[in-house]
Amino acid sequence: MPRKCEARGRGIIPREPVSHEVASLRLWKTLGVVTALSLSLAGCVPVSGSTAGQPTPGQQGDIFAGLPKEGQRAPNATLVDLQGSQLKISDFRGRPLIINFWATWCPPCRAEIPELDAVYREHRDKGLEVLGIDYGEDSQTVQGFLKGMEVSYRIVLDPYDEAADGYRIAALPTSFFVDSEGIIRAVHLGGMDRQAIEQKLAKILPKD
């Protein structure tokens, strides 16, 4: 099996041999995410037969249909931070959490990083955590991208696609707002400005 899958010049490198079924799923997700890169803040949503533009309501609905729903418990997954240490999503239980799936090659993902960081800085004294889960890239790529940037929240890797598969990620960025009990209270597909983040954040922050 080839060790590198090229999609519009961006490589997704498996960390270990996988079955044909898993490889096919990863290839489908990768092509869907990369093919649909949009330069707007609407998000990198797969659009059949097009490499740009906005998703139709039906297409966006199809993507949402596969995601974990509001009111469900957030799926757990083992992740790796940029120093190589393992952590789990469940480690954040007891604190409000934004889970943000992103990648360095995704323009809306890059655009919302400062917004997420500003929100995190403002609300971390209330216990807020933000977990930026990179999609399919290695530590060197991510650290090179972040060099010189001020990102205060935690950036982690998903080396075996455990989180991406568990959350059924088919487009980037995708974000989940999880309360302190580990329950998903809001889901957002596409890039967010600060106002959009704050509106959904209100559903998970402790009340004054």
CA torsion sign for 150, 152, 157, 158 is negative
CA 41 to chain centre: 15
* Structural contact between residues 149 and 113, judged by C-beta atoms closer than 8 angstroms: yes
Phi/psi at 108 (nearest 5 deg)?
-65, -30
| Residue 104 CB-density burial (10 A; 0-12 exposed, 13-18 middle, 19+ buried) | middle
The predicted pLDDT at position 27 comes to: 43
Instruction: Provide the angle, in degrees to the nearest 10, between the axes of the packed helices 107-123 and 194-201.
Output: 50
Provide the percentage of residues in the chain whose pLDDT is more than 70.
69
Task: Provide CATH code, domain 17-201.
Answer: 3.40.30.10
The pLDDT score that the predictor gives to residue 63 is 67
**Domain locations along the chain:** 17-201
The mean pLDDT value of the chain amounts to 79
Q: Which string of DSSP letters, residue by residue, matches 44-112? A: B---TT-SSSPPPHHHHHHHHHHSPPTTSBPPP-EEEETTS-EEEGGGGTTS-EEEEEE-TT-HHHHHH
pLDDT at 2 over 50: no
Q: pLDDT tens digit string along 20-64?
A: 454 444 544 444 444 343 333 345 544 233 333 344 555 556 666
Between CA 200 and CA 207, with CA 204 as vertex, the angle to 5 degrees is 115
Q: What's the pLDDT tens digit per position in 130-172? A: 999 999 999 999 999 999 899 999 999 999 999 999 999 988 9
What pTM does this model have?
0.75
Position with higher pLDDT, 190 vs 18: 190
